Structure 1
């Protein structure tokens, strides 16, 4: 277990926007490090407690866009809570939709991209000595999004891809936003293929090829993602 201060909470809070998009491989890492995990369901649960949590909050992905708050009214409440949390500099990790919500809450534009980015590929890691994502230099990650965002003011760009320049950014030590999916676990990715079948077919994605890539790359990503999340936890605990 990481050496934690007595006032750093030992529970990780996670906000889900889709039942099968959970913490994946990261959940086992948290348990191994001595943390507990509590999930909140966006659109169902009151998220106030989650966003006021003094420990780590992880905002997970989902098929919604941050600009769809007229149809999904809970999104605006979530954004309002997130704005307060970010102003307080509480430790927050956003993945995919979570990253877009962070960018939006920080005043950056979030919008539909020119094309879907679905599948496995490597990232272009920014050349920074303190880049949390350095270990991903030669490791393919899973992309699964159609929206993208501008870089928020004062954000440090951590990674880009061939299709989208803004794949990850940080604000200080506590705020981390990842457009790609660091959390995926190979043993559960079939759920994604089932749950997102309409999106995959509309985007003309070869499902068999994507399944093969999942089998080929997920295990290696799990190994690297565990190291990255430990480094991030150490950073926010010591901050």
Structure 2
């Protein structure tokens, strides 16, 4: 008999140089393959997820409110995983697109504050019932989102209260970044250094120093979180 084909996770990235990072590593180790698409570079998204076990939509430097065609098309496309009730995870921009699709609002902080660096996270009672959450998470955003109608808030923070939510059975959104490898974080710190002057942002040395302290807990959480969303394929 031919070897059993590994189920695929659709991975949506928004820059030529972007990667699925640690999320990709964990999914591969858990028995999935990755089908990587980059809509800003012209890649199409599938009309159905019959051939996929789920989807992860990652972040990017653009806003979910931008008028670019790919932003509108991708936001509209989210009806596919929602309608088919397939596991979906939106990270930062991906979560914000999901919020817009569900009729919520994506906007900056009223006082212009950003979260760029390591910040405390607090799980809600609903979040605590699912798993143990990290006390500190890595952030890199200038906009946040409202909680969509019908969604359950799982984690919160002081500056941007809505940090993680679940919608329905299988749709999840998180504002923070657990996917960064050490190499990815170094690249973000170099390329994003001009943003460290924004109100509320932390200097680059604190990004790297914080990683030495808190990243192990964030990685452990990510592994459990991805298994909660996608499970593991049945081997056979």
Which interval holds the TM-score relative to the shorter structure? 0.7 to 0.9
Among 39, 44, 48, which residue is 1:47 paired with?
44
1:163-210 per-position Cα deviation (integer Å, ceiling 9, x unaligned): 111111101221000011122223431011122223234456311222
Q: 1:185 matched to which residue of 2?
A: 181
- Whether contact under 8 Å (2:155, 2:165) holds in the other structure is yes
Structure 1 residue 129, shift from structure 2 partner: 7.1
Structure 1 runs not aligned, ≥5 long: 1-5
Structure 2 runs not aligned, ≥5 long: none
TM-score after normalising by structure 1: 0.84
Secondary structure of residue in 2 paired with 1:135: coil
- Whether contact under 8 Å (1:10, 1:34) holds in the other structure is yes
Structure 2 vs 1, CA of residues 235 and 158 (structure 1 numbering), >3 Å: closer, same or farther? farther
Q: 2:143 matched to which residue of 1?
A: 147
- Whether contact under 8 Å (1:15, 1:41) holds in the other structure is yes
Structure 1 residue 128, shift from structure 2 partner: 2.2
Further displaced range: 207-216 or 27-36:
207-216
Aligned length: 226
Structure 1 residue 84, shift from structure 2 partner: 3.9
TM-score after normalising by structure 2: 0.85
Among 45, 57, 60, which residue is 2:58 paired with?
60
Secondary structure of residue in 2 paired with 1:154: coil
Q: Distance in 1 between matches of 2:123 and 2:117?
A: 18
Secondary structure of residue in 2 paired with 1:48: coil
- Whether contact under 8 Å (1:17, 1:62) holds in the other structure is yes
- Give the 5 Å matches for 1:4-153: 10-49=7-46, 52-54=48-50, 55-69=53-67, 72-114=68-110, 115-128=113-126, 131-132=129-130, 134-136=131-133, 138-153=134-149
Structure 1 residue 235, shift from structure 2 partner: 9.2
